[in-house]
Structure 1
Amino acid sequence: MKLKTKLIIAFLTVLLLPIILGTTLIFLLGAYQISTIEKTYKISGTTVESLSNSMQTISSLTEESYHELVDMAAESPARMEDATALGEFNRLLQEKNAYLLVRKGYTMIYVGTDMENADSVIAELPDYGGAETTSENGIYLGGDAQSLVKQVDFEYPDGDKGSAFIVSDVRKMIPELEELMVDIVVCIVFILILTACALTYWVYRSVMQPLQKMQLAAKNIKEGNLDFEIRPMADDEMGRLAQDLEDMRVRLRDNVEEKLRYDRESKELISNISHDLKTPVTAIKGYAEGIMDGVADTPEKMQKYVRTIYNKADEMNTLINELTFYSKIDTNRIPYNFNTLSVNDYFEDCAEDLSLELEAKNVEFGYFNYVEKDVKVIADAEQIKRVIHNIVNNSLKYMDKPKPKINLRVKDVGDFVQIELEDNGKGIAAKDLPNIFDRFYRTDASRNSSKGGSGIGLSIVKKIIEEHGGKIWATSREETGTTMYFVLRKYQEVPIYE
C-alpha cells in the first residue's frame, strides 16, 4: 500500500471512525440514561428527542404529580390547608427538582422552597381561571423566574378560591442528563485519542520500521560492509526506496568485487609477465655475454647467437604487446576499424601468411574453403588476424606430436561464416574446456612450465569475437587434438526500392 493511500485512509478513519463510534456510544449511553431517568422519575415514553427539549422533559417529570394534585384538590380541598400533607407532597416534588406553592385568595399560604428563590416566581404567577395554566403542560415564566408552572384551581370548604402551583426551575437540568452529557464528552475525547494513537502508531510503524532498516543499511554501507540484503517490507514509496538502496548496495558490492578481481588479475598478469620475461632476458644476457667473452669465435656461432638474441627479444615484444592490448580491453579502447571484407580473399591471405609462418616451424598446414565467392562479412581485418594468430600460437604452445599439423577451414552456415582451426596437439581435458577463454586460466597450473605466455591470449580472442557480434567455442579430445570455432555474421545488402 502506498504511503499516499495510507495517509488518505488515516484521514478518512480520523474523520469517520469517531463519528461511527461516537454515534454508537451516544445511542447506548442515551438508552441507558433514558432507562435510568424513567425508573428514577417514574415516567415513560421518554425519547432522545424529548430529552433534547428541556421544557418537555421537565414537564414530563411532574406529569404524575400534577394529576395527583388535581385529584387531591378535587376530593379533599381541606387538605390544601394541611401543612403536613402539603409538606409530604412537596418532598416528593423536590425529588423531581420541583416545589409546591399554594395560594388562598391572593395570599400565599404555603411555599415549598426558600422565599428568596420563590419571590420572582410568585410575582409572575397567573390569576385564577386561566385555561392555558390549568393544563398538564403548564406555562413558562420568563424573566427572573425562569420556571415552568402548572396550576390547579379549586375552591376551599369555606368558599375561598385557591390555587396550587407545581413549579419547576428550568435552569436546573436533570442530574442524569448532566451525567449523559459528561459521558458523551468523555467518550468522544476517548475515541479521538484512541483513533489518533492507533493511526499514529500504524503510520509510524509503516514508516519508521523501513526507515530504521534503511538507516542500518546505510550505516553498513558507510562502514564498507556490503554482505547483507535489504528486503522491502511493502510495495510502497518506502519499499521502492528500500529496493533502490538494495540495488545500490548490489552495484557497490559488484564494483568492489570487480575492483578486487581486477586488482588480483592485474597482479597475476604482472607476475606472469615478469616470470615469462625472465626467460628471454636471461637468454639474451647469456648470449650477449658469450659474444662479449669471445665465445662466438666463428661467423656461424656469431650468427646463431645474434639470431637467438633477436628471437628472444621478439618474444619479449609479443608479451609486452599482449600487456598493452589487455589494458585496452579492460578500458574498452580497442581500436576497431570495421570494413566489408570478402571472405575468400581475406582468408586466402591469412592462409598464405600462416603457411609461410608454420612451414618455417616445420608444422604442416591445410586450408579448406567452402564459401561462395560473393560472401562478405563486416569485420576488423587486423583484429581477426590477431584472433587467428592467438589461436595458432596457443596450438603451437601445447603441440606434442612429432608431426604437428594445423588446419584452417571456412564454412557457410546460414547467416554466419564459421571458421575452424584444428590441431593435432595434446588436447584439453573435459574439466578444463569450459574455462579456457577465462583470463589467466592455464591448463598447466605450474608457472615452471616451459610453455610460457601471459594467460590472456584466448580471453582476448573471445573479447574480439564478441565485439564483432559473433561467438567462439572449442571441442577437444585428449591426445588427439583441439578444434577452435568462431562465427562472423554475413554482410547482406538491403535492396533499395525506388
Structure 2
Amino acid sequence: MEPVARFFRKFIPTVLLTLLGALILTNGILTYIVSRSIIKPLYALKSAAGRIREGDLDHSVQWQRKDEVGQLGTAFEEMRIRLKESIGDKLQLEQNRKELLASISHDLKTPITAIQGCVECLQDGIADTEEKRQKYIGMIAGKTTDMNRMIEELLLYSTLDIGKLPFNFVSLDAAAYMQQAVDELKLNPRMSEIEISWRNDAGRPLFIRADREKLHRALLNIVDNSLKHMRQRPGMLRFELLEEDENTVAIRISDNGTGIPAEALPYVFDQFYRAEPSRSTDAGSSGLGLAIVKQIVHEHGGTVEAISGTEAGTAIMMRFPADRPAPVEKGDQP
C-alpha cells in the first residue's frame, strides 16, 4: 500500500492546484465576458446620461444587440431622440413666440402712429375747417377698424393654434355651398370690378365633412388675399370644385394677381409672412390670413397648397376628405 499512499500524496495536491488554477482561469474569463457584455455597456450608458445632464443631446448610443442590454440601449436612444425633439420644439415655440410679439408690435405701431398724428392735428387746430376735421376723423375710424380686424385675426389664429376653437362638422354638399358663397360674393360692393366665375368639374354633388362657418372664413381670407395683390382691372377670381379621386374633394380659387415668387411659396402659409420685402400693412393686413386658412383646413383633416408664379396669378388649392352620406331608406323619405 505504500506505493499507493505515495501516489495519492503527490496526486491530490496536483489535482487541487489544477482545480484552483482552472477556477481562477474560469473566473477571469467570466469576469472579462461579463465586463464586455454588461459592465462596459452600463458605463457607456452612464457616460451618455452624463452628457445629457450637461445638455449634449447629440451623442447617440447604438448597439447591435438583441438581448436585454441591447433593448435597454435602444430604449435609452429613443428617450434621447424624443428628449431632443421635445427641447427643439420648445425652443422653436419660444422663437415663434418672440417673432409673434415682434410682428404684433410692428403691425400695430403703424395704425397707432397714424391715429396719434390725426389726434395731434385735431388738438393743435391744424384741422381748422369742418371738411378737414371730418377727414381726420375718417382716417381715425379707418385705422381703428384696421386694428380691430388685426386683433380679431390674431385672437382667431391663437385659438386655432392651441386647439380651443370648437368645430361643428356636418355632411356638406360642397357644390351647393360653393354656389351660395359665390353668389354672395357677387353681391359684395368690393367685387364691383372683379369678374367672378364658378365651375363644378364633377357636375354633381360632392360631399365633405365641414364646419360651414369656419370654411366660409377660410374662403373669405383667400379672397381678401387675392384682392390685395390684384393690379389688373378687371380682376378675375375663379372658383372650381374638383373630385381628384374617390377620397378627395378639392376647392381651387385662382386669380390674375401679381403672383408669388417660387422661393416664397413654401412660406406663404406661415404666420406674419409676406412675400413682399417690405413689411407694409396695407388695408389692415395682419399677415395671418393664409395662416388661419391652413389651420382651418388642417382641422378638417385636409391640406392646402399655393400654386403660383411671378405675374402669373395665384391659385390656392384646398383638399378635403370626401364624405359618403349614408343612403336614405325609402321609408325615411319625406
TM-score by length of 2: 0.86
Higher relative contact order (CA 8 A, sep 6+): 2
| Alignment partner, residue 350 of structure 1 | 181
Q: Distance in 2 between matches of 1:182 and 1:245?
A: 51
5 Å-filtered alignment, 1:289-308, equals 289-292=120-123, 293=125, 295=127, 297-298=129-130, 301-308=132-139
Q: Kindly provide the amino acid, as one letter, of the partner of residue 276 in structure 2.
A: D
What is the deviation of 1:276? 1.0
Give 2:88's match in structure 1, choosing from 241, 250, 257: 257
Give 1:420's match in structure 2, choosing from 249, 252, 266: 252
Is the CA contact (8 Å cut-off) linking 2:256 and 2:312 kept in structure 1?
yes
Counterparts in 2 of 1:231 and 1:342: CA distance versus 1, 3 Å: same
What is the deviation of 1:372? 4.7
Q: Distance in 1 between matches of 2:119 and 2:210?
A: 43
Give 2:301's match in structure 1, choosing from 469, 472, 481: 469
Question: Greater shift after overlay, 407-416 or 264-273?
Answer: 407-416
Give 1:330's match in structure 2, choosing from 161, 178, 197: 161
1:488 aligns with 2:320: yes
Q: Distance in 2 between matches of 1:440 and 1:200?
A: 63
| Alignment partner, residue 16 of structure 2 | 185
| Alignment partner, residue 228 of structure 2 | 397
| Alignment partner, residue 45 of structure 2 | 214
Q: Kindly provide the amino acid, as one letter, of the partner of residue 237 in structure 2.
A: I
What is the deviation of 1:482? 0.7
Q: Kindly provide the amino acid, as one letter, of the partner of residue 184 in structure 1.
A: V
Q: Distance in 2 between matches of 1:431 and 1:322?
A: 26
Give 2:215's match in structure 1, choosing from 362, 368, 384: 384
Q: Distance in 2 between matches of 1:256 and 1:456?
A: 26
Give 1:444's match in structure 2, choosing from 259, 266, 276: 276
Counterparts in 2 of 1:367 and 1:261: CA distance versus 1, 3 Å: same
What is the deviation of 1:244? 1.4
What is the deviation of 1:418? 2.0
Q: Distance in 1 between matches of 2:177 and 2:210?
A: 11
What is the deviation of 1:177? 4.2
Deviations 1:42-68 (A, max 9, x none): xxxxxxxxxxxxxxxxxxxxxxxxxxx
Is the CA contact (8 Å cut-off) linking 1:427 and 1:479 kept in structure 2?
yes
Give 1:237's match in structure 2, choosing from 68, 74, 79: 68
Deviations 1:394-438 (A, max 9, x none): 223333335433222233444333211111111112222233223
Q: Distance in 1 between matches of 2:278 and 2:95?
A: 18
Give 1:267's match in structure 2, choosing from 84, 98, 116: 98
What is the deviation of 1:223? 2.2
Unaligned runs of 5+ in 2: none
Question: Greater shift after overlay, 481-490 or 433-442?
Answer: 433-442
Q: Kindly provide the amino acid, as one letter, of the partner of residue 141 in structure 2.
A: Y
Q: Kindly provide the amino acid, as one letter, of the partner of residue 192 in structure 1.
A: L
Q: Kindly provide the amino acid, as one letter, of the partner of residue 263 in structure 1.
A: E
Q: Distance in 1 between matches of 2:135 and 2:284?
A: 22
Question: Greater shift after overlay, 395-404 or 379-388?
Answer: 395-404
Identity score, percent: 35
- Cα RMSD after superposing both structures: 2.8
| Alignment partner, residue 247 of structure 1 | 78
5 Å-filtered alignment, 1:190-205, equals 190-205=21-36
Q: Distance in 2 between matches of 1:361 and 1:311?
A: 20
What is the deviation of 1:277? 0.8
5 Å-filtered alignment, 1:14-413, equals 170=1, 173=4, 175-292=6-123, 293=125, 295=127, 297-298=129-130, 301-357=132-188, 359-360=189-190, 363-370=193-200, 372=203, 374-413=205-244
Unaligned runs of 5+ in 1: 1-169
| Alignment partner, residue 459 of structure 1 | 291
What is the deviation of 1:198? 0.8
Is the CA contact (8 Å cut-off) linking 1:398 and 1:451 kept in structure 2?
no
Q: Distance in 2 between matches of 1:174 and 1:183?
A: 14
What is the deviation of 1:384? 0.9
Q: Distance in 2 between matches of 1:352 and 1:274?
A: 38
TM-score by length of 1: 0.60
| Alignment partner, residue 266 of structure 2 | 434
